[in-house]
Amino acid sequence: MELEESFSEAMPSESVTRAIRNAAPTASTPAHSQIGELAAGSMLGGYRLNRCLGRGGMGDVHAATHAQTSREVVVKVLSTEMMVNDEAIVRFRQEAAVMARIKHPNVVRLLDFNFMSDGRPYLVMEYLPGENLGEILATRSFTVPQVSAIINQVAAALDAAHQLGVVHRDLKPENIMVVPRAGQRDLIKVIDFGICKARRFNHLTSKGTVMGTPEFMSPEQAQGRHEEVEAPSDQFALAVIAYLMLAGRMPWAASTAEEILHCVVHKYPLALSDDGQYGAVEAVLFRAMAKAPGERYRSILAFSRAFDLALIQTGLLPAPFEEDAPPPARLPASGVRGDDQGDEDDQDDQIMARGLEILNRPRRRGTQVGRAAVVAAALMLGGYLGVNHGAVIRERARRGLTELQLLAHGPVARRAMEGEKRMMSRASQNAKAYLSMGTNP
């Protein structure tokens, strides 16, 4: 029987070795000296506990081995004192049910769920060799391509959760595992769905209750607006993590939890750098950290794509070559939209993907004018397709104008001939005209 079925009935490049500023390591005791409620050598079902990896508010986490197969696993056990807390028990079982449903390579896998003889539940998960992102950031930083790879993998994991109506609600570096792989890029795994919000289950959080980690909370979380905590809340947290990885510090000039929450709700993030080198990247992050959920990107995948595009256009991330990466394709959005809006977004994304495919191909000097013209034409066609849809024309025209402006400041335009510059100017004026149409329905 699938784990999910059993729960449904029971539940109503190289890195730079410099320390990251303002990202102190988690205050925890080294794993070898942790003392849990259960001693090393204890047996839980078919699993032998080897050592306690950590203690949390809900219980203990142990490294363990399957007695018959010698497979290494991680076992999470609800603490004895939490057995008198009905909500804690329900949350623990909800975590198991959610993990059983999310089948994604960037989400930690649930292997088993059972009960001890005293009635305490425990989870058995795959063992992930490596460190969490918080531990790594305490000692060193990442290159921009590494940052991009981490953000993309986390976004893919969270989108899989969002598609199932699950909001992580506690995304932070400590809940992102970085697993090294020989000859391949690091594998990223999102862990700990202990306080997630799952649409299919009864809501457990009372109105006004603040849940999460202050440094990575969205404004709606910080104010206890539980009903508004949805997929955009995870997007906000991921943008803060991206900011931290690029800048080496948090986006708020605050130290205490109270000061941080005040900044999250009332203040704008600090600039990524003093020299303005990040340009469009900063604009993407700031939009993902908008105070109102509706002002952020429509999905966490849309955010990660915009983040990569901005890194490429500012010269911080090399554009993928055609033989190394497939053309950008339509990726599923996390948000819930009407059918008409979904069809319009499909058309828009296909047009944008085609333009980006051409833009990212290896370029020859003699073909730059033609390729830039095709990109501009594709962007103008996006505006044409939306001309009869007043609700979306402003967004399309704004997006088209932004793409043209980024292209005009990129390496193509710097090497282009005067004729290409005049063409770009005319295309930019056309995009502005579409924007004007959108403001006067």
Query: So where are the chain's domains?
Result: 3-126, 337-441
| Predicted structure pTM score | 0.69
| Active-site option among 60, 112, 159, 170 | 170
| Max avg pLDDT among 13-27, 50-64, 117-131 | 117-131
| Max avg pLDDT among 13-17, 94-98, 393-397 | 94-98
pLDDT tens per residue across span 399-426 = 555 555 555 445 444 444 455 555 555 6
**pLDDT confidence tier of residue 276, bands split at 50, 70 and 90:** confident
Q: Is the pLDDT of residue 310 over 90?
A: yes
pLDDT tens per residue across span 209-242 = 667 789 999 999 999 998 999 999 999 999 999 9
**pLDDT confidence tier of residue 395, bands split at 50, 70 and 90:** low
Mean pLDDT value of segment 54-69: 90
pLDDT of residue 85: 87
Q: Is the pLDDT of residue 439 over 50?
A: no
- 186 is known as an active-site residue: no
The overall average pLDDT reported for the chain is 77
pLDDT tens per residue across span 175-187 = 999 999 999 999 9
| Max avg pLDDT among 23-32, 47-56, 356-365 | 47-56
Mean pLDDT value of segment 194-212: 69
**pLDDT confidence tier of residue 199, bands split at 50, 70 and 90:** confident
Mean pLDDT value of segment 1-9: 44
Distance separating the N- and C-terminal Cα atoms of the chain: 56
CA atoms within 13 A on the CB side of 200: 16
CATH superfamily, region 3-126: Phosphorylase Kinase; domain 1 (3.30.200.20)
